[in-house]
Chains A and B, each alone.
Chain A
Amino acid sequence: MEGVVPPGTSTQSEVPKPTKEERVDYMNLPCPIPYEEIHRESFMSLKPELFEGMRFDFTKLLNPNFALSHSVYMGPTAIPSQSSETIKIPTAQYEFGANFIDPKLMLVGRVLTDGRLTTRVKCDLTDRLSIKVNAQLTNEPHMSHGIVNIDYKGKDYRTQFQLGNGALFGANYIQSVTPHLSLGGEVFWAGQHRKSGVGYAARYETDKMVAAGQVATTGMVALSYVQKVSEKVSLASDLIYNYMSRDVTASAGYDYILRQCRLRGKIDSNGCASAFLEERLNMGFKFILSAEIDHIRKDYKFGFGITVGE
């Protein structure tokens, strides 16, 4: 993005130096991040996929575009129970998946041993219009759901319409206001649960930091701040407040991306400390370790795994 050096500053003084204060060209603002990815950096740093037990993932590329994946998971799964104790039942599952990735079309499908099928389709119809479909089908009745998103990307704005089953309608819009700040809003209506809401979001980003905030009439307020301390280290913090149920959670964490590994650690105001380590071993696969300690509920979860392929 080219900026214009303000004229007239150098006529009487010395040789013009390139100043940091360039005039902002409001006609050429960058395209903003999609609305649902407003908290993307803090989400990636603070919410790794913690798990308990053993995990093994294998991805094999048959073609430059097509890949098959096999995944085995064995470990205790928590059953939501009404009492304060968590009940864990050991389970084992195998998941088979196929991915087809093209510049214009992406198809991802996964099947689990308990009969659940998850699919994601993303299709770029033109340069600006794209359609995404997310669906999950299960054996149990009334638990399947699907959602279709239609995105339009303009020069410095994005809009999206959502249609889901259960009479779910949604729309959102986000616009770049300055080269660093973008503002957006959303509206949704869920027929089955008779809920509707309006929300607003704002995101301010520079090279070194990203701050994002989101408010919705469902009672959710989410604020996040990520500071990139160096190219290997970033620190993130996040606050989620529900003003209907007066429930607050604050968390802070670090994200170290080193050459051989990626380590993410986080501590929570619910008394949870967690860490997630992905280490690249010499033989071309990744070794994962996950740890989560909940001091209040005395629930300790540790897991390990191996990922082969990407």
Chain B
Amino acid sequence: MASQPRRGGVSLPERRGAKSGENSSSVIARLRESPIVLRGRQAACDAAFVTKKLLKSTGKAAWIAGTTFLVLVVPLIIEMDREQQLNELELQQASLLGTPSQPPK
């Protein structure tokens, strides 16, 4: 039975003491029910929840940025590189032959 509303399914349900016959004031039971330990467990659950969400949204953002970069920028880089190679080739030919060369059809 969960004592708080379900969020992300990360929180663990409170467990009834398995040793029901034991004296309820044993040291370990008292430690487990102490407010500090409870608060620590709550903080750990929250941290795990937030980290999972952050990872997921970072992953989504990285995917969108990566695929958009691939479609918009990579062809541009390739074509600009080819244009630069063509320019260098023409410059080389012009300096070798001494006449301006024709652009390839």
Contacts and interface: CB of A to CB of B under 8 A. Distances in A.
A265 B104 contact: no
B68 interface: yes
A172 interface: no
A260 B67 contact: no
Interface in B52-105: 64, 67-68, 71-72, 75-76, 79-80, 82-83, 86, 103-105
A275 B64 contact: no
Interface in A26-40: none
Nearest to B90: A259
Q: How large is the interface on B (under 10, 10 to 19, 20 to 34, 35 or more residues)?
A: 10 to 19
A80 interface: no
A15 B80 CA distance: 46
B75 A277 contact: yes
A263 B82 CA distance: 13
B76 A265 contact: yes
Contacts of A291: 71
A270 to B, nearest CB: 13
A201 B67 CA distance: 37
Interface residues of A, number: 19
Given A259-B83, A260-B82, A273 B76 contact: no
Nearest to B64: A295
Give the one of B64, B68, B72 with max A CB within 10 A. B72
A282 B104 contact: yes
A284 interface: yes
Contacts of A254: 76
Contacts of B79: 256, 258, 260-261, 263, 277
Interface in A255-290: 256, 258-261, 263, 265, 267, 273-275, 277, 282, 284, 289
B64 A265 contact: no
B71 A274 contact: yes
A275 B75 contact: yes
A293 B68 contact: yes
Contacts of A282: 104-105
Contacts of B80: 256, 258
B102 to A, nearest CB: 11
A36 B79 CA distance: 33
Given A258-B83, A260-B86, A284 B105 contact: yes
B89 to A, nearest CB: 12
Given A258-B83, A259-B83, A282-B104, A267 B75 contact: no
Interface of B: 64, 67-68, 71-72, 75-76, 79-80, 82-83, 86, 103-105
Given A258-B80, A282-B105, 4 more contacts: A254-B76, A260-B83, A293-B71, A295-B67
Q: Closest 6 CB pairs between A and B?
A: A273-B68, A265-B72, A258-B83, A291-B71, A275-B71, A273-B71
20 contacts: A256-B79, A258-B80, A258-B83, A259-B103, A260-B79, A260-B83, A260-B86, A263-B75, A265-B75, A267-B68, A267-B72, A273-B71, A273-B72, A275-B72, A275-B75, A282-B104, A282-B105, A284-B105, A293-B67, A295-B68
